Structure 1
Amino acid sequence: MRQKKMTTVSTSFSLKDRLAKINSRVTDFHEDFKKQVDETKQVDLERFELIQNGIEHLDKILQLETERATKRLDDIRKKFTTRIMDTRDALGASVSLHTKENNDNFSDLAHKCRHAMAKIAQEHDDLLESIRYFRRAPRSPSGPSSGTSRTSATRGWRSRPRSTARWTATSSTRRT
């Protein structure tokens, strides 16, 4: 029986020993697991901080780029507004200049037309006066070969002052 007891005792020691080993392994595993969890937490915290810092950095970059783009847009807007205003002013000046030139050309043309019309009216008056003169001139029975030709009659008429010819043409026109 003694042997049985010893076996039981030795078995109980060996079970305790095994239990202690298992307990030690579980504790080691638990410690390792805690350590891994802590390391993972630390890594996750570091990653989170990096991500958060990256987001803050990107926000700053976005803000700076937005400010820069806004400034650039304002510069472009001012530049093109200035160009548009300059172009508009230049077009206005050009239109004004061309309008003035066209008005001057029109005035010149109108003056030339008035002058030509006056010349035509004068020639018309002269023609009417010549016709009247030839109608009033005494005719010789033998015709134009009698010594007075139409040329000399015309010269005599042209030797008169023009104002008289005009007055005569006007007054004779009124009588008719």
Structure 2
Amino acid sequence: MKKYLIQFKPFLLFIGTFFFAYIVLTLVYKLYLNSFEANDVDAVTNIVGRNVEQIMNLFNCDIKIQKNQLSPFLEVWYNKKRTVRIVEGCNAVSVLILFVSFVIAFSGKFKATVLFILAGSLCIYILNVIRIAILTVLIYRFPENVHILHGVLFPLIIYGLVFLLWIFWINKFSKYAK
């Protein structure tokens, strides 16, 4: 048994570190979410909504994003039609937790790890805001394709970026890069 523990030590360290970071970050995020009333929209989701509105205003879109009065989500009105809603799951925090946990599990030098987490998180956040803005327009124009757009194409884009960032991290900066 000891032979196998030694043989698989790098893998076991990765798995242990990944799950530890993932669980800690998820619990911290859960505590953050629990600080809001049941019908409130959390601050991160509100910021995402504001950023979506700002980016669409750059393109002179007829956009209005407001809090739903009965439920904890933001309504996105595009061309005077309620097109999509932004819920807590749309703010990409769960994707960021996954990204950060992986980078920590494959950590490199402290400074490089922190800088990569910050830069990668910013890239993911910006892509997520752009994703919601484009999704709003596409669902307005092609409402019959909501499932393929929201359920397949756009998750593929956001998780594709995360995957590419992981590959870049492992090959360039992690302690396993050499």
What TM-score, normalized by structure 1, do the two folds share? 0.23
> Bigger radius of gyration, 1 or 2?
1
Greater strand share, structure number: 2
Larger % of helix: which? 1
- Higher relative contact order (CA closer than 8 Å, sequence separation 6+): 2
